Structure 1
Amino acid sequence: MKKTSLIQKLEVSKKEFLETSKLIIEPNIISDPKKYRILLKKYMTLEKIVFLYEEYKKQLVSLKEVDFILKNDSDTEMKELATTEKYKILENLSSIEKKSYNLLFSSKEGDETEDDRKAVIVELRSGTGGDEACIFVEDILRMYTMYFKKSGWKYKIIHAQKGGIKGYKEIILDLNGEKGIYGNLKFESGVHRVQRIPKTESQGRVHTSAITVAVLPKVKDIEVNINLSDIKKDTFRSSGSGGQHVNKTESAVRLTHLPSKITVECQEERSQHKNFEKAISVLRSRIYQNEKEKRLRKISIKRKSLVSTGDRSIKIRTYNYPKNRVTDHRIHKSIYNLAGFMNGNIQEMINLLKLFENK
């Protein structure tokens, strides 16, 4: 997010703070404990934002003064001092920006949609790049599972198809937790591109590979009504875990929704019945997401934004290993700590995407 956009949001928060300050002392608010508690919580959050905003403006003034010295002063010693001071100011500004993003994001939690609060189905699939794409699926899986752990969410593998040498051609997760999972992860849907030297590359050349990520909100049967006569069911022997059992019984399930041609496989459970239940859950989510994407595409034409459409054909992010950089192309934001990002520290990027969408 650009500084001008951040300042605009901070200005809005300051106005809200002044309005809330007047409102919270009104007799009808004080006499209503519930209203007072809600308003007090808002007041305290806005107070922190305003404090940061005032400090932010001071640092920006200091930056202008330092830049003036660097441009106009001929004294070498003064320029050295100004350079050191500028480095400190830029660090302070960066710190204030991060704190502001977090507070602005937390103040918007009440704006969550019903979908944002839902659990999700996460699907990862290898794309262009052969074996390297399969390895990157495993890398992104690790990144997400570390993020899930930090967030206190629990996941189960519904379906997994191994890659040729290593990694996965496809893996599907069932993710649950108390907080709004879809509200955070919906921005992850799309094409994730990696640029690095594959382990299989003998000449040290940088290759570009890609995988697709789909994040689908889990929906109940009352939200998506599936007619069983529209489903073709096939069973087959599982190639996943389960010991000798998987080789003896056809516990794996493949469901095809005939009207939409959507196909789902599930083979991680030993029981065909349990695999069928999980496959139905994934199928329901995919049908729901298909309808949602159609609506969002119409909206995105008007908004000229693809931040939350969930369109899996759009290149959303590049992970550049030689430059230690991850870039989100929708908001033109780069983070120069790829190792940290791949260790599950992705919340900063998600917060920026949320703020961009709210804007």
Structure 2
Amino acid sequence: MKEEIIQLADKINKIKEYLDPPKRKKELDDIQKQLEDSSVWNDYQLLQNLKRKQSSIEQKLKTVEELENDVDTLLELSEFVEDDESYKQELEDNIKELTKKVEKAETETFLSGEHDFSNAIVTIHSGAGGTESCDWVSMLFRMYSMWCDNNEYKIEVMDLQPGDEAGYKSITFLVSGEKAYGYLKNENGVHRLVRISPFDANKRRHTSFASVSVLPEINDDTEIDIDPKDLKIDTFRASGAGGQHVNKTDSAIRITHIPTGIVVSCQNERSQHKNKAFALKILKAKLYQLEEEKKKKELEKLEGEKKKIEWGSQIRSYVLHPYKMVKDHRTGVEKKDVAALAVLNGEIDDFIREALKKL
């Protein structure tokens, strides 16, 4: 057990080296000087950004200090175990707890992108497979919902298109909470499911596909010019569940950005005004990403390199028959048997962590 503690200590040292406390403390001093400037307090967005950055750095420094104290305590406790076995179980439990803390801190060191601390706008589209794929969309939505519950993130469904028989043709939802986009951004891509179809009377094996798109929620202070003349705005009646109100008012909004051809919609709110506001938020996020892609000249299409939602293009496979396994094809992370089923119940942290390390 002492070796495990030493390994954890090595990981903590690497996290500390990556964080570079002297550099971070200098950043805190610079932020404090800016906050002492009275003009900053007249700029709400700048003030909020500075405070958010200050809080983030302070939290990271505090976390590393706490981890160092914890590992020192465990090393001391390990000395007692050599003389008294009654301490063994307590030490094992503490090692497991510290391991989780270190893994979380390790993951957060890779969150350094401009929008990693933003909320996330997630859209899941059904692909090849008809009813099967629509049901697969609902399963993925459930998986992400459970992950959000486990990590204290809030989900708000903003748009959905029900499937003809089951599930959803597409669903868009907002994940609110610190680092939501940073954690979820690498879920972007095609997800493949292999199972015995519950919709097939002959109980044959089917393969279904769904694409996941993840965008950051863009702050109001980010400069994205949208000319009202470039927008075509349509209202329609919501097609999802929602009682009599849904069928009686044209509260749903569809916005087409004419220069780019981007189409966004929102129908979940009863207020047409709220639906329009959220649809514009999605449009702003998509236009921002489009501009970023043009600058980098790495991608030609919106939301990353678009692949057909079918064979050979998946980032992750979820196989439930004839064996149970979930495999991420980018990182090589695999979960088998009971662990594979746990993935569909929201336990995707290992996939997220390895993707942040390697991608």
TM-score by length of 1: 0.69
TM-score by length of 2: 0.69
**Structure 1 gaps, min length 5:** 1-7, 24-33, 53-91, 301-308
Question: Equivalent residue of 2:116, what SS?
Answer: helix
Aligned partners of 2:116 and 2:181 also within 8 Å = yes
Aligned length: 289
> Which residue does 1:339 correspond to in 2?
341
Structure 1 residues 233-242 or 8-17, which shifts more? 8-17
Q: Which amino acid aligns with 1:158?
A: M
Q: Which amino acid aligns with 1:267?
A: Q
* CA-CA distance at 1:39 after TM superposition: 6.3
Task: Report the Cα distance in structure 2 between the residues aligned to 1:127 and 1:211, rounded to whole angstroms.
Answer: 5
Q: 1:42 to 1:237 in 2, by over 3 A?
A: closer
Question: Equivalent residue of 1:123, what SS?
Answer: strand
In the TM superposition, 1:252-331 aligns within 5 A as 252-294=252-294, 298=298, 310-313=304-307, 314-322=313-321, 323-331=323-331
Q: Which amino acid aligns with 1:218?
A: E
Give CA deviations for 1:236-292 in whole Å, capped at 9, x if unaligned. Answer: 122223433333322111100011100011111222212111111111112222333
Question: Equivalent residue of 1:116, what SS?
Answer: coil
Task: Report the Cα distance in structure 2 between the residues aligned to 1:279 and 1:214, rounded to whole angstroms.
Answer: 15
Q: Which amino acid aligns with 1:160?
A: L
Task: Report the Cα distance in structure 2 between the residues aligned to 1:19 and 1:236, rounded to whole angstroms.
Answer: 51
Task: Report the Cα distance in structure 2 between the residues aligned to 1:234 and 1:37, rounded to whole angstroms.
Answer: 45
Q: 1:39 to 1:229 in 2, by over 3 A?
A: closer
* CA-CA distance at 1:141 after TM superposition: 0.6
1:185 and 2:184 are equivalent in the alignment = yes
1:112 and 2:112 are equivalent in the alignment = yes
> Which residue does 1:82 correspond to in 2?
none
* Structure having the higher Rg: 1
Question: Equivalent residue of 1:134, what SS?
Answer: helix
Aligned partners of 1:190 and 1:311 also within 8 Å = no
> Which residue does 1:207 correspond to in 2?
206
Question: Equivalent residue of 1:211, what SS?
Answer: strand
Aligned partners of 1:236 and 1:250 also within 8 Å = yes
Q: Which amino acid aligns with 1:354?
A: L
Aligned partners of 2:12 and 2:102 also within 8 Å = no
> Which residue does 2:237 correspond to in 1?
237
* CA-CA distance at 1:12 after TM superposition: 7.9
Q: Which amino acid aligns with 1:42?
A: V
**Structure 2 gaps, min length 5:** 1-6, 23-53, 75-91, 308-312
Give CA deviations for 1:58-103 in whole Å, capped at 9, x if unaligned. Answer: xxxxxxxxxxxxxxxxxxxxxxxxxxxxxxxxxx9xxx99976862
Give CA deviations for 1:96-154 in whole Å, capped at 9, x if unaligned. Answer: 99976862551463553231100011101100000000000000111111111111111
> Which residue does 2:38 correspond to in 1?
none
Give CA deviations for 1:9-29 in whole Å, capped at 9, x if unaligned. Answer: 997865787999xx9xxxxxx
Task: Report the Cα distance in structure 2 between the residues aligned to 1:37 and 1:290, rounded to whole angstroms.
Answer: 33
Question: Equivalent residue of 2:330, what SS?
Answer: coil
1:349 and 2:351 are equivalent in the alignment = yes
Aligned partners of 2:11 and 2:102 also within 8 Å = no
Alignment RMSD: 3.7
Question: Equivalent residue of 1:226, what SS?
Answer: coil
* CA-CA distance at 1:342 after TM superposition: 0.5
Q: Which amino acid aligns with 1:346?
A: I
> Which residue does 1:85 correspond to in 2?
none
* CA-CA distance at 1:46 after TM superposition: 5.8
Aligned partners of 1:17 and 1:46 also within 8 Å = no
Q: Which amino acid aligns with 2:351?
A: M
Q: Which amino acid aligns with 1:191?
A: V
1:168 and 2:190 are equivalent in the alignment = no
What percent of counterpart residues are identical?
Answer: 36
